[in-house]
């Protein structure tokens, strides 16, 4: 096993299943030390058990409960970072992956759905980044999960797509603010990018309030409406995150699509 990320640290917000957990697994395999968070206690415990069962030592990762919609919970991440990585240790990669989505036509969207979607996807992403910026090392990286849906009209995803489009815009502005210019006086040289998945084979397919039958149908629809003829595996998105976090050292303010060519479609399939 090669460990090109030995000595590196990564904080994954929303790391207890799907893309977040597979990213943690990949980074651990490559030698990084990982702190991952989840909103609910049960998935946090399950994720920790899965990583332990995969052979990763407890000293290499920490899984904690943290609600990205709560500013006190976000501030509480600071001592957890220090206890997990060591006092004075900086974060090499902040991966903001937490998200919430409900399929509803615009006419059916309630205030509760709207507020929870934006509080999680946009407000939470903004304030967790703002809070942790001082703890990201100069030359480090921030990666946000957005979505291919920000590029078109996907019925049922008006609020979700808008919330992720806002994150994409924020990432571009933040990239400009954090870049180090030739005189060396501007910014800490932190790179900021986004990864935009299409349909991904995760336990919930990235949505809430759906039945098992609906998830199965969603997977079938995703495969049929993706030019490559299948949906992505979480580890395929994880590799893009690792690339943006540690390999793409001259890339900032950009988006990597991991969508099987979905953006090539000009209209929604029948």
120-164 tens-digit pLDDT: 999 999 999 999 999 999 999 999 999 999 998 888 999 999 999
Residue 64 pairs in a beta bridge with: 37
**Is 263 within a domain?**
no
**CA angle in degrees (0–180, nearest 5) for 225-226-229:** 105
Which residue among the candidates 160, 181, 199, 221 is catalytic per the annotation? 160
- Does residue 160 carry a catalytic annotation? yes
Q: Are strands 91-96 and 255-258 parallel, antiparallel or unpaired?
A: unpaired
- Asked if the structure places residue 268 within a domain, the reply is no
CA distances from 139 to 15, 23, 60, 65, 239 (A): 23, 20, 22, 28, 20
Question: 149 phi and psi, to 5 degrees?
Answer: -65, -15
Band of pLDDT at residue 99, cut at 50, 70 and 90: very high
Residue 56 lies in a domain: yes
Average confidence (pLDDT) over 169-195: 85
DSSP line for 17-34: SHHHHHHHHHHHHTT-EE
- Residue 2 pLDDT level (bands cut at 50, 70, 90): confident
Q: Summarize pLDDT for 5-41 with one digit per residue, the tens.
A: 999 999 999 999 999 999 999 999 999 999 999 999 9
Structure confidence at residue 1 (pLDDT): 60
Is the pLDDT at 266 greater than 90? The verdict is no
* Residue 139 included in any domain: yes
Looking up residue 217, the CATH number of its domain turns out to be 3.40.50.720
Is 208 part of any domain? yes
Does residue 146 lie in a domain region? yes
- The rounded mean pLDDT for the chain is 92
Looking at residue 184, its pLDDT comes to 55
> pLDDT band for position 203 (50/70/90)?
confident
Give a yes or no: residue 267 inside a domain.
no
For residue 218, is pLDDT > 80? no
Q: Tell me 89's DSSP state.
A: P
pLDDT at 57: 97
Tokens of 218: 């969603």
Pairing state between β 33-38 and 255-258: unpaired
In a domain, 190, yes or no: yes
Structural domain of residue 137, as residue ranges?
A: 9-256
> Domain tally for the chain?
1
Beta bridge partners of 255: 194
pTM: 0.94
């Amino acid at each position: 096993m090669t460990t090109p990320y030995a000595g590196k640290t990564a904080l994954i917000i929303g790391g207890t299943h799907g893309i977040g957990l597979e990213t943690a697994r990949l980074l651990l395999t490559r030698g990084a030390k990982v702190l991952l968070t989840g909103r609910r206690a049960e998935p946090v415990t399950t994720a920790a058990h899965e990583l332990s069962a995969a052979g990763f030592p407890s000293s290499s990762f920490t899984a904690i409960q943290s609600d990205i919609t709560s500013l006190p919970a976000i501030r509480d991440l600071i001592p957890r970072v220090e206890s997990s990585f060591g006092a004075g240790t900086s974060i090499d990669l902040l991966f903001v992956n937490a998200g919430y989505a409900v399929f509803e036509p615009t006419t059916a969207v309630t205030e509760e759905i709207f507020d929870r979607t934006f509080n999680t996807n946009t407000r939470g992403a903004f304030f967790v980044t703002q809070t942790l910026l001082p703890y990201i090392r100069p030359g480090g990286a921030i990666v946000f999960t957005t979505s291919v849906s920000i590029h078109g009209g996907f019925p049922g995803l008006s609020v979700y797509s808008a919330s992720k489009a806002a994150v994409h815009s924020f990432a571009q502005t933040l990239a400009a603010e954090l870049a180090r210019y030739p005189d060396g006086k501007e910014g800490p040289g932190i790179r900021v990018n986004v990864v935009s998945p299409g349909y991904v084979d995760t336990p919930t397919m990235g949505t809430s309030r759906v039945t098992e039958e609906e998830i199965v149908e969603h997977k079938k629809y995703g495969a049929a409406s993706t030019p490559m003829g299948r949906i992505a595996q979480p580890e395929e998105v994880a590799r893009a995150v690792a690339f943006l976090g540690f390999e793409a050292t001259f890339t900032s303010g950009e988006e990597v699509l991991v969508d099987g060519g979905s953006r090539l479609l000009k209209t929604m399939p029948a």
